[in-house]
Structure 1
Amino acid sequence: MQCSQCGADIPVYKNPTPTVDIIIEVKQGIVLIERKNPPFGWALPGGFVDYGESYEDAAVREAKEETGLDVTLVRQFHTYSHPDRDQRQHTASTVFIATAVGTPVGADDAKQAQVFTKEGLPELAFDHSLILHDYYKKIY
């Protein structure tokens, strides 16, 4: 890439894209969404952080968009950043634990949203099996 004014080379940096994932705790278990877009499968609600948006606001927004639930963030859990965690591009996801009351309904990028127990988890997209393995290891 070159500067349009002086012609000097401009370095292009490739950086991981920031994302958030949310472990939403409800009375019966945790909320997962079935993805409407590739990569298909079940996943934690989440998505990309918008420019000018805090990670916390992104987590609350993504939870609402994909599950219809108003969540209360409890705490930041961990960041997952392995370069191949998302086959589309290198992302770094900050995971939040949140609580909610109500029945989740899939919307936006989610075909559906359902509550699952630890024993009844489906096969998960991305590295979400690892995230939930770490989560359950910490809380039990």
Structure 2
Amino acid sequence: MSFNQLTCPRCGEQVRQYRNPFPTVDIIIEVTGGIVLIERKNEPKGWALPGGFVDYGETLEAAAIREAREETSLHITNLRLLGCYSDPARDPRQHTISTVFVAEASGTPVAADDAASLLVYPVTGLPALLCFDHRKILDDYLRFRKRSSSP
């Protein structure tokens, strides 16, 4: 269990402040021609899956739908769980735990919110360098697709 020691401003006693990982979601959005990747506006900059932090009182599924809409302007459907990623080093800013979904969308993706731009990448031509642990996530996704298409 990780915690910081704080001093109470009223009495001067040491108080423990517990630290927990932050819940996030990432979404692999399948569209005609491949999957949607965003170029991040904020640090760490680079290419990434659409996603973000789960708001208090929000389900993981609702967060995925909201983040997809905010960053890509797409409404996603057929939300499926790919997995959870919890390596404390996955995000250089802080410890996060990401629940990753695969979803489908139709329409034209448009970069918005935290996305500076976006591209649809064919699954056979995904970039090698991605932010966070998104390369590992996409490798898992490619294995998942291969298993799903096997008889």
In the superposition, the TM-score normalised over structure 1's length comes to 0.93
Greater C-alpha radius of gyration: 2
Structure-to-structure mapping, 1:31-46, within 5 angstroms: 31-46=36-51
Shift of 1:73: 3.9
Q: Are 1:11 and 2:8 matched, yes or no?
A: no
Task: Note the aligned Cα RMSD (angstroms).
Answer: 1.5
Moved segments of 4+, more than 4 Å? 2-9
Q: Which runs of 5+ in 2 are unaligned?
A: 1-5, 147-151
Q: In 2, Cα distance between the equivalents of 1:54 and 1:35?
A: 24
Q: Which has the higher strand share?
A: 2
Give 3-state SS (helix, strand or coil) of 1:97's partner. Answer: strand
Q: Which amino acid aligns with 1:68?
A: S
Match of 1:119 in 2: 124
Give 3-state SS (helix, strand or coil) of 1:12's partner. Answer: strand
Match of 2:79 in 1: 74
Shift of 1:119: 2.2
Among residues 103, 111, 121, which one is paired with 1:106 in the alignment? Answer: 111
Q: In 1, Cα distance between the equivalents of 2:38 and 2:8?
A: 44
User: How many percent identity over aligned positions?
Assistant: 61
Among residues 130, 134, 137, which one is paired with 2:140 in the alignment? Answer: 134
Q: Which amino acid aligns with 1:59?
A: A
Shift of 1:8: 5.9
Q: Deviations over 1:28-73 (max 9, x none)?
A: 1111100011101100000000111111111000000000000114
Q: Which amino acid aligns with 1:63?
A: A
Match of 2:63 in 1: 58
Moved more, 38-47 or 10-19: 10-19
Would you say how many aligned residue pairs link Structure 1 and Structure 2?
140
